[in-house]
Every structure is written in C-alpha cells, then in structure tokens.
Amino acid sequence: ADYWKSQPRKFCQYCKCWIADNKPSIEFHERGKNHKQNVTAKIDEIKKKSIEKAKKEEKMSKEFAAMEEAAMKAYQEDMKRLQGESVITVVL
Ligand SMILES: [Zn+2]
C-alpha cells in the first residue's frame, strides 16, 4: 500500500490508464504511439459528437419551424373561420 502512496500517479483520460506523475514518465507516455492514437481517436469522437449535435439541433429547429408553421396555419384557419362567422352574423 505504501508503494501507491509514495508514487504519485496521473490519470491519462485518453488512454484511461494511470502513469507515474513525473515529467519523464509523462513525456514518455505522451510520446507513445498508443497515447497518440488515443488522442486522435478522442478528437475524432469529439468532432463526430459535435457534428451529430449540430445535426440534431438543425433537425430540431426544422421541426420547430414546421410546428410553428402548422400553428400559424391553424391560427389563420381560425381567423378565416371567425371572419366567416362574423360575416354571416353581419348578413343575418
Ligand atoms: Zn495516454
């Protein structure tokens, strides 16, 4: 147990692994092929996610616009109907 206490460790979020928290170890780890691949993969994942998010938001805004249009049409229909009714009232 003392071994872990005396060895401060740093967590690499890209590789999901622990490395010794000292400059040579960190540099060695960051120069590693595995780490570089993991960093690239992470960046690709973030890019992919942000593209997906943008697409989702675009879809949502389109759906919202369609909803708004439908509401506007319904409102116009109501107005027409109300106007028609009031015309009838006037005629009567
Ligand atoms: Zn790493």
Distance 20 CA to ligand 1 centre (A): 11
Please provide the DSSP assignment of the chain as one string. Answer: -HHHHHS-EEEETTTTEEEESSHHHHHHHHHSHHHHHHHHHHHHHHHHHHHHHHHHHHHHHHHHHHHHHHHHHHHHHHHHHHHHHHHHHHH-
Give the tens place of pLDDT for each residue, 36-55.
999 999 999 999 999 999 99
Give the tens place of pLDDT for each residue, 10-36.
999 999 999 999 999 999 999 999 999
Distance 42 CA to ligand 1 centre (A): 11
- Residues lining ligand 1 (ion), CB within 5 A? 12, 14-15, 35
* Percent of the chain topping pLDDT 90: 76
Greater confidence (54 vs 4) lies with 54
Distance 45 CA to ligand 1 centre (A): 16
Distance 49 CA to ligand 1 centre (A): 21
Distance 1 CA to ligand 1 centre (A): 24
